[in-house]
């Protein structure tokens, strides 16, 4: 019995580690390639693979971003089994988790912690404009 419990803990730890590594590498590749493409066509001023040191440890920006991507990967592993029951099924739930939840955390937790006002960020202004358009059309 002790052996099976050990294997269960080991399998769970392995899944969490793989979730972190997969998301870390996805951030370094797919996310940064997306930024590169948007930058190349002039839709963003952000540049990919930025190595600007980030306080307090002086870690390059892209590595810090990839680390936090890995943390999201761990969270995804933890909620993955519930996504099949989400409205629209697994893929809709996974897409919402990957696109909407990190954006909301960025806007409502990270920006305030860094002392950045929400209204000065384009994403908030765009979201407010879209919401206003939808609300005026719904009346």
Tens-digit pLDDT profile for residues 71-107: 999 999 999 988 888 888 888 888 888 888 888 888 8
- Arithmetic mean of pLDDT, 114-136: 58
- With CA atoms as reference, report the closest residue to 52 among 66, 37, 63: 63
Alpha helices in 1-139 (DSSP H): 2-26, 32-40, 61-83, 90-105, 111-113, 122-138
**Is the pLDDT confidence value at 123 over 80?**
no
- Residue 18's pLDDT band (cuts 50, 70, 90): very high
**Is the pLDDT confidence value at 7 over 70?**
no
**Is the pLDDT confidence value at 55 over 60?**
yes
**How far, in Å, CA of 125 to CA of 136, rounded?**
16
In the DSSP assignment, the letter for residue 1 is -
Collect all residues with Cβ–Cβ distance below 8 Å to 107 and sequence separation of at least 6: 118, 121, 123, 124
Mean pLDDT of the chain: 81
């Amino acid at each position: 019995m002790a052996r099976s419990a050990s294997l269960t803990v080991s399998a769970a730890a392995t899944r969490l580690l793989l979730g972190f590594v997969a998301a870390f590498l996805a951030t370094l590749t797919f996310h940064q390639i997306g930024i590169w493409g948007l930058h190349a066509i002039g839709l963003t001023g952000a540049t990919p693979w930025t190595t600007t040191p980030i306080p307090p440890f002086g870690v390059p920006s892209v590595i810090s971003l990839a680390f936090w991507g890995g943390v999201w990967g761990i969270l995804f592993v933890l909620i993955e089994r519930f996504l099949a029951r989400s409205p629209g099924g697994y893929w809709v739930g996974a897409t919402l988790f990957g696109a909407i939840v990190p954006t909301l955390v960025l806007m409502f937790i990270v920006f305030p912690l860094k002392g950045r006002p929400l209204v000065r960020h384009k994403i908030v202004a765009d979201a407010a404009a879209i919401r206003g358009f939808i609300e005026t059309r719904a009346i």
